[in-house]
Amino acid sequence: MSEEYELTQEQIKARDRRSKAIGLGLLVFVVLVFVVTVFRKMQELGLEPTG
């Protein structure tokens, strides 16, 4: 039932750009969650970040 077809070079490049954007967005989200977690743990321990 599934038909196979070849992607054009333009479609492949667009797919690669989307994949990189999704990966970058995921990385930013993970880093943000990590930073927030570290700051919250520091506050729980009474260690205020300097700055």
Domain residue limits, the chain = 19-51
Q: Identify the residue whose tokens are 């880093």.
A: 31
**Contact assessment for residue 37 and residue 44, using Cβ atoms and an 8 Å cutoff:** no
pLDDT values of the chain reduced to their tens digit, one per residue, 51 residues: 568 889 999 999 999 999 999 999 999 999 999 999 999 999 988 876 655
Sequence-distant (≥ 6) Cβ neighbours of residue 49 within 8 angstroms: 39, 42
**Residue 5 per-residue DSSP state:** -
Backbone angles phi, psi at 29, to 5 degrees: -60, -45
- pLDDT of 3 reads 81
For the chain, first and last CA: distance in Å?
Answer: 61
